A and B are shown apart, each in its own frame.
Chain A
Amino acid sequence: MTEPTPPPTPPPGPPLGLLAELTHRCPLMCPYCSNPLELSGARAELATDEWLRVIDDAAAMGVLQIHLSGGEPVVRRDLEQLIARCRANEIYTNLITAGVLLDEARLAALAEAGLEHVQLSIQGSRAETADRIGGYAGGHQKKLEVAGLIREAGLPLTVNAVVHRQNLDHLDEIIELAVELGARRLEVAHTQYYGWAYANRAALMPTPEQVTRANEVVAAAEERLKGVLAIDYVVPDYYAKRPKACMGGWGRQFLNVTPTGKVLPCHAAESITDMTFETVRARRLPEIWADGPAFQRFRGTAWMPEPCRSCDRREIDFGGCRCQAFALTGDAAATDPACGLSPHHDRMVALAEGESTAGADRFRYRTLRQKDVVGSASGG
């Protein structure tokens, strides 16, 4: 006898935001890159007219913000055209960039097309550290210059810093730098361990002491910089008691389109290797959102096992992160081990603490060929 198929859970509403990963191409090689280990090349990327249709479909669904990301999105020569189409559809555009390929003329063109906000990544506060982490010589200095050009182009600036064991002790300097660069917002994001970051976890995992100190630095800066710099702090969940509400719940608010047109419930979803994803080349975006199997799989609460199923936080944290559950337990439906109620929680904490003090600092840099590039690729 087969189990009855549960009725499909419809989405609670249209998605608020869409992450458009326009390309995997990028001059940097950050060892925590959020792209999948298996990167796609330029020839496989969606063409301009395919992206334009994604944008039109997103607008028709009610998407309010599109985050133009990558890889490095500015390598796409049609970026201005895509921004203009977002603008025509009244969609808010946010460019997520490493900055090193931008100049005054390109920024003017992007602003002219209707770009509304730029999020610039930095890899640290000091050139030597930052260039070693990004694997790109001269990158840090270039970013400092580009931050000025972004402000001069009249674009509001958010600085984004992914933090980990090898730059966390400079967090106070990173916050200071964001203020100096004229950012109104700073994202301090503890590394989330999927894909490249999972492969580099032993080189990135902060010590518990570093995390405690970082929490204090952020709390003090938030108070001191009220009205000057808003800080968004992504906490490190290996040391958490309760999991994060990943993506605000699977298939509830966000969707992600990859360079080749795959539609994902979150940018790391491809790390769940037993899942397949539809593409906008085969089916339209609103249909995939409405009833695509990948979106249905963890939408709502019916899929949850215990202890999530009966937990009074099940619609607060939605069981945490599916990718993390898969990475650490082999079961994407398991309770996120970041939760203290998970039977795997203690093992996760022990793993983090052990790795954080083992001193394995070498990075496996992000490369298209997945070949280990070790040591000091540049500047370090």
Chain B
Amino acid sequence: MTAPGFTAESVPRLASGVRLKDDRARGQTVLLAPERVLVLDETAVAVLRRLDGARSLGQLADELAAEYDAPADTILADVRAMLADLAEKGFVEA
């Protein structure tokens, strides 16, 4: 699948009105957005915690590749797909 709008140079961030929350009552991390609560898996949390408006997607993929000992290009493709999906719904922007 293609991920329009995001390249290795993109600097994605959470859209305004969207934030991560440690949901202690249920022991999970969620993304809070207008009229939405998204329950995140471990991978999504690892990616979204790094969206600080400074890191590029390429840097982010390199970090995750080092941390999880996986090929950077595979991770970059996975992260692009995840962020494209979230961007389409308005949760992430570049």
Picked from B4, B23, B32, B90, the residue with its CB within 8 Å of the CB of A185 is: B90
Q: Which of A152-187 contact B (CB under 8 A)?
A: 154-156, 158, 184-185, 187
Question: In angstroms, how far is the closest chain B Cβ from the Cβ of A49?
Answer: 24
Contacts of A116 in B (CB 8 A): 17, 19, 32
- Quick check: B37 and A94 within 8 Å, CB to CB? no
A305 within 8 A of B: no
A16 within 8 A of B: yes
- CA of A116 to CA of B32, assembled, Å: 10
- Quick check: A185 and B21 within 8 Å, CB to CB? no
- CA of A61 to CA of B34, assembled, Å: 20
- Quick check: A156 and B26 within 8 Å, CB to CB? no
- CA of A184 to CA of B92, assembled, Å: 11
- Quick check: B25 and A14 within 8 Å, CB to CB? yes
- Quick check: A64 and B16 within 8 Å, CB to CB? no
**Given the interface contacts A61-B25, A92-B32, A226-B88, does A17 sit within 8 Å of B37 by beta carbon?**
yes
Contacts of A330 in B (CB 8 A): none
Most-contacted residue by chain A among B16, B17, B26, B90 (CB, 10 A): B17
- Quick check: B17 and A14 within 8 Å, CB to CB? no
Picked from B15, B21, B23, B37, the residue with its CB within 8 Å of the CB of A156 is: B15
- CA of A158 to CA of B90, assembled, Å: 11
Question: In angstroms, how far is the closest chain B Cβ from the Cβ of A109?
Answer: 18
Count residues on chain A whose CB falls below 8 Å from chain B CBs. Answer: 26
Most-contacted residue by chain B among A154, A227, A232 (CB, 10 A): A227
**Given the interface contacts A14-B26, A119-B34, A158-B35, does A92 sit within 8 Å of B16 by beta carbon?**
no
Picked from B5, B25, B26, B35, the residue with its CB within 8 Å of the CB of A232 is: B35
- Quick check: A156 and B87 within 8 Å, CB to CB? no
- Quick check: B26 and A13 within 8 Å, CB to CB? yes
- CA of A323 to CA of B32, assembled, Å: 29
Interface CB pairs A-B, < 8 A, 21:
A14-B25, A14-B26, A61-B25, A64-B37, A65-B35, A65-B37, A92-B19, A94-B35, A116-B19, A116-B32, A117-B17, A119-B35, A156-B15, A156-B16, A156-B34, A184-B15, A184-B34, A187-B35, A227-B87, A227-B90, A230-B88
A residues bordering B, Cβ < 8 Å?
A: 13-14, 16-17, 61-62, 64-65, 90, 92, 94, 116-117, 119, 154-156, 158, 184-185, 187, 226-227, 229-230, 232
Instruction: Pick the 5 closest A-B CB pairs, nearest first.
Output: A62-B25, A156-B17, A92-B32, A230-B90, A117-B17
Q: A62-B23, A227-B87, A230-B90 are in contact. List 11 more A-B contacts (CB 8 A).
A: A64-B21, A64-B32, A65-B35, A65-B37, A116-B17, A116-B32, A119-B34, A156-B34, A185-B35, A226-B88, A230-B89
